[in-house]
Amino acid sequence: MSSEVARIFDAMAPAYGTLEPWYEHLYAVLHAILRRELRPPADGRRGRALDAGCGTGFQAARLAALGWDVHGVDIAAALLAVARAELPRAALARASLEALPYPAGAFDAVACCGSTLSFVDDPARALGELARVLRPGGRLLLECEHTWNLDLGWAALSALARDALGYGVSLRDVRGVLRDGVWPAYPGYGRLRTFTLGELGALLRTAGLAPERRWGIHAVTNLIPSTVLHRARLGRPLAVLYRALRAVDEALAPVAARGANSVVLLARKAAPPQ
């Protein structure tokens, strides 16, 4: 799966930074959370932060702006080439999240966003690696695809109406997501894993990470099908509606994880007993 994932994302590199209305909202809320929750150490030293699955450096750029010594890792060479051009001072490496090239306790904070966990072969092993490279007391900000969300209903309706909404999936695909948490062929991405909140909590705790807070993004905005929001431009009436839904979605993010398309979790690595 790793080579196929790298191929898919390498092909996206030329347009990877183009944000459709869907992603514009996702990253606006996500980056507001990141700026608030992943602040550098207060003791005056320059902490080290890892952008795990850095792509072209969306999160790495925000971490650098906060004052972190930024490192990034990704499996897609073409995306890393863009990131190196944009962030020449960041230390970037090509590697899998399941075998990170860093010593234990190397980082004060890790951001793993862009649904990166959905594309690894072994999520438990990947989270174990993220926990390993965190120092005791370090924080992980994790953004994932959530299984239970309203957009899954739109996909089912589209399948019943001869793909009227352009999801390109069948009812069998939708049932498979609900049963197994996996899209066999998600539009544009191929095989994509989703997670319930219970699964994510269990994975984090098994890795030695204690969940502290969570948020939901694209819960209220899912009143509009995501295939519509993935268009480059929205008509004026729809744009006005979407702007209003975005404001509500952002305000409800701290309590909307259960119905959101994307969930964000903040977890902390336990400090050793004194």
Find tokens 């306790």 and name the residue. Answer: 105
Domain definitions of the chain by residue range: 2-147+194-269
The two beta strands, 48-52 and 107-112, are parallel
Find tokens 């999240």 and name the residue. Answer: 97
- pLDDT per residue over 38-88, tens digit each? 999 888 788 999 999 999 999 999 999 999 999 999 999 999 999 999 999
Average of per-residue pLDDT across 16-25: 74
What CATH topology corresponds to 2-147+194-269? Rossmann fold (3.40.50)
Average of per-residue pLDDT across 113-132: 96
Q: Of 22, 20, 24, nearest to 232 (Cα)?
A: 20
Question: In angstroms, how far apart are the furthest CA atoms of the chain?
Answer: 62
Residue 13 pLDDT exceeds 80? no
Q: Of 1, 14, 2, nearest to 75 (Cα)?
A: 2
Residues above pLDDT 90, as percent of the chain: 76
Q: How confident is the model at residue 219 (pLDDT cuts 50, 70, 90)?
A: very high
Model-level pTM? 0.91
Output the six-digit token pair for 51: 């952008």
Burial group, residue 4, by CB count within 10 angstroms (0-12, 13-18, 19+): exposed
Q: How confident is the model at residue 235 (pLDDT cuts 50, 70, 90)?
A: confident
Distance CA 250, CA 255 (A): 10
Distance CA 230, CA 5 (A): 21
**Which strand (E) or helix (H) includes residue 210?**
strand 209-217
Q: 178 by DSSP, 3-state: which?
A: helix
Distance CA 147, CA 46 (A): 37
Distance between start and end Cα atoms, the chain: 42
- If you average pLDDT over every residue of the chain, what do you get? 90
Distance CA 116, CA 22 (A): 17
* DSSP letter, residue 271: P
- pLDDT per residue over 180-206, tens digit each? 988 776 655 667 899 999 999 999 999
Type of residue numbered 231: R
- pLDDT per residue over 240-274, tens digit each? 999 999 999 999 999 999 999 999 999 999 877 65
